[in-house]
Chains A and B, each alone.
Chain A
Amino acid sequence: MSLNLTGVTLIYPDGDSRLTALDDVTLDVPPSTLTAVVGPSGSGKSSLLAVAATLITPGTGTVSIDATDTTGMSRRELTDLRRRKIGMVFQQPNLLPSLTALEQLQVVAVLDGRSPAAALPRARELLDAVGLAGEAGRRPHQLSGGQRQRVNIARALMNDPTVLLVDEPTSALDHERGRAVVDLIVRLTRLRGTATVLVTHDTTHLAAADRIAEVRDGRIGHHTGIERAS
């Protein structure tokens, strides 16, 4: 159970020229570990996350989830895979305005063909895990920024994913709330055994990571060896 990118290259058309967003990127994220991906703006962090989320198919290289190569899969297979194996924590919470906090989690189960009622116990358990058991009936506009981000995290874990992809989760939060969110992600990574990738520009969160991958000009410069996987 892990996320593995091998020799991934991604090239975008850029006017008359071509822009290499990812250049021969190899990254291995074992289960129960958190890999922080850092780098300056435009370095390829978001492209790396999009490729890992199977939202973009790379030009060359392979993306494996649970030792299953996703390159060559049909769009429908990728949608199924994303629903069952990948949890995504968006930079903005991206909560649906008409749903309560509890329903934000239930909808993920409904997308997977389960009934909302059947998903209720797990949704409540996850809301409890992120400290929002008392806010289950509130809609996004009734929650604070930090609370919305915690719902975002709980939603990502609803289908018990193998891989958790986290995109700049603290960009809209103050330092203290940001730290609490990162701590929560680390705790859930250990607890749920996910292979977690955390894209961040905030270097203060790096201490929480097991590994640090620095991206520059589409290449992973080096892994910082803080090998602290459990």
Chain B
Amino acid sequence: MFVGWRDLRFAKGRFALMGTVIVLITLLVGLLSGLTAGLGRQNVSAITGLPADRIAFDVPSAGQSLSYSGTTVTESQWRRWSAVDGVTSAEPLGITTTRATSGDRSAGVSVFGVRPGSALAPDGARTRDGSVVLSTGAADGLGLHSGGTLTLAGRKLHVTAVAGDASFSHTPVIWTSLDTWRAAAPTAAAAPGGPTASVIALRTTGGVDTKAADLAAGTRTVTKGDSLSAIGSYTSENGSLQLMRGFLFAISALVIGAFFTVWTIQRRGDVAVLKALGASTASLLRDALGQAVVLLTAGTLIGTAGAAAVGAALAGTAVPFLVTPTTVVLPAAVIILLGACGAALAIRRITSVDPLTALGSAR
């Protein structure tokens, strides 16, 4: 990269301009990635944190897709699943979103009803009828500690513990008993045949025949990961943010490709001279691609550091921003990879430069 390094030092202005663009795109992608992950966690952490690998839903009506809201399973469905070979645990789980109040404070919460002592709740032994275990988000929102009281659907409930930071559909989770959940969930009261819960959280071994069990129980079972699309806002919200991120990746590749296209066109004369002096096309391509990768790496590192710094500054605030290797390192690697692809497409023009043009007075 003898010439490439010297070009970088010589044409400082041009490369600084392009580097700044890369820094800004990387910063934007990093911020969007952190926000996507943070919002995603606010949406699904209560589900992804469940000690279960599959979720059984009641079969939806024709034309309807699975949904955590407005669905119920019955006690008989739960009992059938409990008896299925290969199922080590079948726990009914009631879910509803409502408002809880404590003194003059009020907050939207997701009420998760479980059986007393269920492993689904972070402190299952304390989820008795008439009492609740709050997630930290709910406790902060309502200004409550262990031993306090809150009002949910007209009932006063005792806070037995504050544990975990689970949230569901952007609301913090309150863990309580299934009876208390039933009192708060309008769908539970309306469902026929003795509603027990919203879904059944299953822990299974490899040998379980879910199709047969679904047929017998009248349920539809999906993996825990697939069940996330049954959270109303998650698919559309996550899809929109991922689409934006995808566009930013594409834009970064196009912008870098455009820059190096112009740069390569400007350098055609120099490339012709180097070829006439005996430079192989491969060595010239290596030099040019190395130059692009140096620029990309430097710009991406600065942009990523900026995104991580913003993420650190936002930690503990209301902004749902998550800084992890997946939200910081992965987007940076993708930008470098796509940018290098864009640059590679641009610098391929080097192959078509004719060294003959170095002769004569045409230059």
- CB within 8 Å of B: which residues of A? 46, 49-50, 53, 55-56, 76, 79-80, 82-84, 86, 88, 90-92, 94, 96-99, 103, 106-108, 110-112, 116, 139, 155, 159, 167-168, 171
Contact = CB atoms under 8 A, between A and B. Distances in A.
A80 B6 CA distance: 24
B356 A99 contact: no
B3 A112 contact: no
B359 interface: yes
30 contacts: A49-B359, A53-B359, A55-B356, A79-B275, A79-B280, A82-B276, A82-B277, A84-B278, A88-B277, A88-B358, A90-B273, A90-B359, A90-B363, A92-B361, A94-B358, A94-B363, A97-B10, A97-B270, A98-B11, A99-B3, A108-B277, A108-B278, A110-B2, A111-B274, A111-B283, A116-B2, A139-B10, A159-B278, A167-B360, A168-B361
B interface, by DSSP: helix, strand, loop or mixed? helix
B361 A171 contact: yes
B229 to A, nearest CB: 54
Contacts, number: 83
Interface in B254-290: 269-270, 273-280, 283
B361 A55 contact: no
A99 B6 contact: yes
B10 A91 contact: no
Given A98-B11, A99-B6, A111-B283, A91 B361 contact: yes
B360 A98 contact: no
A111 to B, nearest CB: 5
B9 interface: yes
Contacts of B270: 96-97
Interface in B30-51: none
B278 A112 contact: yes
B355 interface: yes
Nearest 3 CB-CB pairs, A to B?
A: A83-B278, A98-B10, A98-B6
Interface in B5-26: 6-7, 9-11
B359 A91 contact: yes
Given A55-B276, A98-B11, A112-B278, A46 B283 contact: no
A189 to B, nearest CB: 19
A50 B359 contact: yes
Contact of A55 (B9, B283, B359): B359
Contacts of A97: 10, 270
Contacts of B278: 79-80, 82-84, 86, 108, 111-112, 159
A46 B359 CA distance: 8
A37 to B, nearest CB: 13
A88 B361 contact: no
A108 B3 CA distance: 11
Most buried by A among B7, B275, B279, B359: B359
A112 B283 CA distance: 10
Contact of B363 (A80, A92, A159): A92
Nearest to A156: B277
B358 to A, nearest CB: 6
B355 to A, nearest CB: 6
Nearest to B10: A98
Contact of A56 (B3, B9, B274, B356): B356
A96 B276 contact: no
A112 B10 CA distance: 24
A103 B276 contact: no
Contacts of B275: 79
Contacts of B11: 98
A159 B279 CA distance: 13
Interface in B310-363: 355-356, 358-361, 363
Interface in B77-104: none
Contacts of A80: 278
A98 B277 contact: no
A88 B2 contact: no
Contacts of B276: 53, 55, 82, 88, 90
Nearest to B271: A96
Nearest to B284: A111
A76 B358 contact: no
Contacts of A84: 278
Contacts of B363: 90, 92, 94
Contacts of B9: 98
Contacts of A92: 361, 363
- Candidate in A79, A99, A103 with the most chain B CB atoms within 10 angstroms: A79
Interface string B172-183: 000000000000
A112 B356 CA distance: 20
Contacts of B7: 98
Contact of A98 (B3, B269, B358, B361): B3
Nearest to A112: B278
A145 B361 CA distance: 14
A80 B7 CA distance: 25
Contacts of B277: 82-83, 88, 107-108, 111, 155
A13 B358 CA distance: 21
Contacts of A53: 276, 359
A202 to B, nearest CB: 14
B60 to A, nearest CB: 66
A112 B278 CA distance: 8
Contacts of B279: 79, 83, 111
Contacts of B6: 96, 98-99, 103
